[in-house]
Amino acid sequence: MIYQSKQAPTFDVNNEKNMDFLLSLLDSENENVTELAANIISYSCNSNTEQLALCGAGVPQKLVSLFGGSMNLRDACLESMTAVIRNNWEVASRFASMDHGKAFRSIVALIHDRSPRTRLLACLCLIALGHASPCHFPDRQIKTKLILVLLELIEEPGHVGDEAPLALTTLIKDSVELQKQAFSTNAVAKLSNHLLANTLETRRAVTILLALAELCSKQEESRSQLMSGQRYQH
């Protein structure tokens, strides 16, 4: 796909003709075409004005309606949704309230999907939503589920396992409450065990170290557990 390449041209969604064209792609019955549209959104949505334009045109609703398609289409739509929501309070607020929360719940359901990549992308979308509009994501139980899912995903091979610790880092960043929740799920021990299983030169080791650093940044209990584990290893 050309819009999965970093060399692809940007697509100005603020241009009315471009927006109409994009909406026509999303309405296509051909999944390859709708997946292309989702990839265009992910690649080209880089500003608040673009996010608001896409939201105003009903793009989030269209993306959610495509979750029932193929795995590739669903994943592309999740990435697009994250791009539309990221760091935009207004868009995130509208999305969280859309269809009385039905759209939000549809993404929560996907953190339990059978596909590891889908689970990761659903987690990333919810993390973006929570950061953009914390007041619309107060559910502690869902946040705990996100932590547990991300810790499980570290066991997956390849890109998913490499990126799961980074997603966990983003989720708990600067939040004492979430760092305490992560500690209660035995995150320090789980991350430490994964770290010991990977050489320090790997991407996974780097992202695990970042997650451990964030876990220990505000929690003395986490620091103590990590250090006691290190003493045990030696």
Q: What pLDDT sits at residue 201?
A: 75
Task: Assess whether 143 and 175 both reside in one domain.
Answer: yes
Task: Assess whether 128 and 145 both reside in one domain.
Answer: no
Tell me the pLDDT of the chain (234 aa) as tens digits: 444 555 555 788 889 999 999 999 999 999 999 999 999 999 989 899 999 999 999 999 999 999 999 999 999 999 999 999 999 999 999 999 999 999 999 999 999 999 999 999 999 999 999 999 988 777 889 999 999 999 999 999 999 999 999 999 999 998 999 999 999 999 999 999 888 887 767 899 999 999 999 998 877 777 777 777 553 343
- Domain final position from 138, 155, 190: 138
Task: Assess whether 150 and 221 both reside in one domain.
Answer: yes
Q: Residue 42, SS3?
A: helix
Rg (alpha carbons) of the chain, rounded to whole number: 19
Task: Assess whether 61 and 4 both reside in one domain.
Answer: yes
- Domain final position from 115, 138, 161: 138
Task: Assess whether 116 and 188 both reside in one domain.
Answer: no
Pairwise CA distance, residues 13 & 50, whole Å: 6
Q: Residue 158, SS3?
A: helix
- Domain final position from 122, 138, 154: 138
Q: What pLDDT sits at residue 232?
A: 37
Task: Assess whether 69 and 154 both reside in one domain.
Answer: no
Distances (CA, A) of 107 to 64, 78, 150: 8, 8, 15
Q: What pLDDT sits at residue 231?
A: 36
Pairwise CA distance, residues 228 & 222, whole Å: 10
* Domain CATH for 41: 1.25.10.10
Q: What pLDDT sits at residue 82?
A: 98
Task: Assess whether 84 and 158 both reside in one domain.
Answer: no
Q: What pLDDT sits at residue 11?
A: 81
The structural domain count of the chain equals 2
Q: What pLDDT sits at residue 234?
A: 38
Q: By C-alpha distance, which of 114, 111, 189 is closest to 150?
A: 111
User: By residue range, what is the domain housing residue 90?
Assistant: 1-138
Task: Assess whether 145 and 206 both reside in one domain.
Answer: yes
